[in-house]
Amino acid sequence: MNHSHKIAGKVAIIYMIIGALWIFVTDYISMSRAKENVHTYAMFQHSKGWIYIFITGIILYVIIRYWTGKMLRSQQEFNLKDEQYQSLFKHNPDSVLQLDLEGRIMSVNPKAEKFLGVRGEALKAKQAGYFIDLIENEKASDYFIKSLEGEAVHFETNIQRMDDEKRIMRVTFLPIIVHKELLGIYAIVRDITKVRREEELMVMSEKLSVIGHLSAAVAHEIRNPLTSLKGFVQLMDMSKEVDPLHTDIMLKEIERINIISSELLVLGKKQDVTFRKLDLGDCLHQVYTLMKAESNLNNIEMAIEVKGADPVLVMADSIELKQLFINLIKNGIEAVGENGKIDISLQIIDDHAIVMVSDNGIGMEPERLERIGEPFYSIKEKGTGIGLTICQKIVHRLNGEMRFESEKHKGTTVTIRIPLATTL
């Protein structure tokens, strides 16, 4: 509407300018002709109105044709872009929902209709939060409000379909801005349920692989305290006496067996990932206790050092953290062989927890370093190639970084940086 007002205004101004010039020029000519020949003056006065109409008609025709041509070309370009948009909207492999500023559904593409199991007409004016899990509705609302500030946001949430089936979705909110005015929000939704399930299966497969690898070493480690317990029980049976010193040793050996078996059982348990404040030092010591069995079995020296007396608190899942460090230490044990050495250290630098796992093993070539974390790539004879891929995924979920430094025949150092938990 503003554009049409501008064009009409320009035409009116041009018309007035032509009229003013015509009056000025014709009046000058009329005055000069009146002095020379009255008949000529009369003829000119009689015909100048028709001449004005003819000239202004041609000029206005040219001007209006030029501007309407521009408008038609703009309209054609707009129609082409609109058709391209409609094609992208209708044939998009992701579900696309157009929302107003209140979060109500304005329109959906066929993919969204098929996924939600509802026709587009039935979805109109419904709140998009109707399909989002109640627990995560508040989180989605926060992201929606953030997108209203003109910023694209990405997040994952659970969506409830009309058949009551829950699906895991990756959602992107994109602001709809026309002429610097926010008109609504596009919600682009992709179903990642299958991807997440495959990742869970991969993680569980790696867990079972680690547990199977540790079983022999754990059995060997448990056998030693069991031998001590058997000896003390036989001694008490023979002497018919209970020595407090012996019972104290027996309790410590039982506790040692309990710790090792508990860690192994918890590692293999399938559970939801729950982030909470954890002491990274305690987690490392638990992993150290569990992996000590395998290092002893292979005559490998393993040491741990936690610098500082204060707890190193991070937001993480206990099982994932343990799997991360078990994988790295297991790789170190396989790299050093017998009579090798593995050092584990923890310290705080610039609001980050820094964990370093170093070994003096065979090291890696630069080509191998470049492909670390690539799924199913492994130089081990029985390697699956997914251990380090899972490690990188875990570190990424912690908003951390993992860096490898290695030199052939000199060893490898893995450095992990994890942000400290914020204190409230």
Q: Residue written as tokens 């000119």?
A: 44
Q: Is 84 helix (H, G, I), strand (E, B) or coil?
A: helix
CA 54 to chain centre: 68
How big is the CA angle at 18 (ends 12 and 23), to the nearest 5 degrees? 125
CA distances 127 to 105, 113, 172, Å, are: 6, 15, 17
**Which pair of structure tokens corresponds to residue 177?**
């801005």
DSSP state of 163: T
Instruction: Report pLDDT for 272.
Output: 56
Residue with tokens 């990742």: 199
Q: Give the model's pLDDT for residue 414.
A: 92
Q: Tell me the backbone φ, ψ of residue 403, rounded to 5 degrees.
A: -125, 140
| Cβ contact 355:281 at 8 Å | no
With H, G, I as helix, E, B as strand and everything else as coil, classify residue 418: strand
On whether the CB atoms of residues 418 and 352 are closer than 8 A, the answer is: yes
User: What is the pLDDT tens value at each position of the chain, 424 positions in all?
Assistant: 466 667 677 777 877 787 778 777 777 776 666 666 666 666 666 677 777 777 777 877 787 788 777 777 777 777 777 777 777 777 788 888 888 888 888 888 888 887 777 776 766 766 766 666 555 677 788 888 888 888 888 888 877 666 667 778 888 888 888 878 888 888 888 888 887 777 777 666 666 666 665 565 566 556 656 766 777 777 777 777 777 877 877 777 777 677 666 655 555 555 556 788 999 998 898 888 878 767 877 788 999 999 887 889 999 888 788 878 888 888 888 888 777 899 999 999 988 999 999 998 888 877 777 767 555 445 454 444 556 777 887 888 888 999 989 888 888 999 999 999 876 5
Question: Measured in Å, how far apart are the chain's first and last C-alpha atoms?
Answer: 54
Residue 376 backbone dihedrals phi, psi, to 5 degrees: 65, 15
Residue 260's pLDDT is what?
A: 62
Supply the pLDDT for residue 357. 93
Contact 128, 105 (CB under 8 A): yes
List Cβ<8 Å contacts ≥24 apart for 149-152. Answer: 150/175, 150/177, 150/182, 151/175
DSSP H or E segment with residue 266: helix 244-268
Q: Domains (ranges, CATH) in the chain?
A: 2-89 (no CATH), 92-191 (3.30.450.20), 196-419 (3.30.565.10)
Q: How far apart are CA 183 and CA 177, in angstroms?
A: 6
Residue 138 has a pLDDT of 75
Q: Which residues pair with residue 188 across a beta bridge? A: 96, 172
- Phi-psi bin for 343: left (phi > 0), alpha (psi -120 to 50), beta? beta
Question: Between the CA of residue 367 and those of 304, 374, 385, 390, what are the distances in Å?
Answer: 30, 12, 15, 20
How open is the CA angle 254-257-262, to the nearest 5 degrees? 125
Question: Residue 41 has what pLDDT?
Answer: 64
Nearest Cα to 374, choosing from 356, 387, 365?
Answer: 387
